[in-house]
A and B are shown apart, each in its own frame.
Chain A
Amino acid sequence: MDFSNKKLAILFRVGDANVYLTNTLVSTWTIGLVLIALAFVLRLMYMKRYQDAPASGSLQNVLELAVETMSNFVTSTLGHNLTGLGGYFFGVFVFIIISNFSALVGLRPPTADLSTTLALALNTFFLTHFLGITRQQGEYFKEYVNPVFIFLPIHLIGEISKPISLSFRLFGNILGGVIILGLLYKALPILLRFAVPDVLHLYFDLFAGSLQAYIFTILSMTYIRSKAEGSE
């Protein structure tokens, strides 16, 4: 049984290392293209037929609801000083949740690859410390030797463990779903493969997928807020 991220072709070589076209890359690009195309289409439709009071059930209403929910979520989690990050987290949330759902259409979820989740977690990591330094200045560095200097390594390990746990949480959950569903598909006789795994798809792809997307986003925001506003 092979649940691995298959290498389909060599894209280019850097030194002695190959960069392969993997399943992850294929699904990332597919999802990215679909999302970007959808964004442009929605934008054009929304802008062209913009109305003050959208009809209930219309596409504009759904879009507005999504954006407003995200905006309220960002405001309540990040505070009023960092609402500019709402767009980034909107994009990240949509990308993660669509990635997690993409297993339903037969793609390998990009989030089942550590490179994707670690890239997202590193974004959070750099945002956290960039905002911490720019917003808190001296206070930011003081927190590392709080309460005494000996605690510096503990604080450092705590900071480094954040992106690791953030990325591995998402990666482990989605990879677990992929492995368990792959095992189930292999174990079931062909006729039963149509109906029985649906329940597990429902749990691993839809439930765990949306929950992990939510958790990734809310944890990123919490980390960023705690550094940007100082821990009180």
Chain B
Amino acid sequence: MDPKAFVLGMSALGAGLAIIGVMGAGAGQGYAAGKGAEAVGRQPEARGAIMSTLLIGVAIAETTAIYGLLVAIILLFANPLIGKL
């Protein structure tokens, strides 16, 4: 078997596995957005402040998903393992 094909296949698999990590961020962001909607429903006049706080929180929670995406993108498009062969 061509070792390069094996590395590429495994990298693609790794990229897919890495993207699983995005799941948690999605769930967390959904929860945060739901809480934000609740807060807006309770206090509609504080909508602006709630929105900006929510967006900052969501963006920071997204960081973990970004790292998963980073690993996946590197494995797919800038594979460092191919060069090691």
Q: Which of B56, B69, B77 contacts A219 (CB 8 A)?
A: B56
Q: Which of A76, A168, A214 contacts B66 (CB 8 A)?
A: A168
Counting contact residues on chain A (CB < 8 A from B), the size range is 10 to 19
B15 to chain A, nearest CB (A): 13
A161 close to B56 (CB less than 8 A): no
Q: Which of A76, A165, A176, A222 contacts B63 (CB 8 A)?
A: A165
- A165 to B77 CA separation, bound complex (whole angstroms): 18
Q: Mark A125-136, 1 if CB is under 8 A from B, else 0.
A: 000000000000
Q: Which residues of B contact A (CB under 8 A)?
A: 52, 55-56, 59-60, 62-63, 66-67, 69-70, 73, 77
Taking A172-B69, A218-B56, A218-B59 as known contacts, 9 extra A-B pairs with beta carbons closer than 8 A to each other, sorted by chain A number, are: A4-B77, A76-B52, A161-B63, A165-B67, A168-B69, A172-B73, A175-B73, A218-B52, A219-B59
Q: Which residues of A contact B (CB under 8 A)?
A: 4, 76-77, 161, 164-165, 168-169, 172, 175-176, 214-215, 218-219, 222
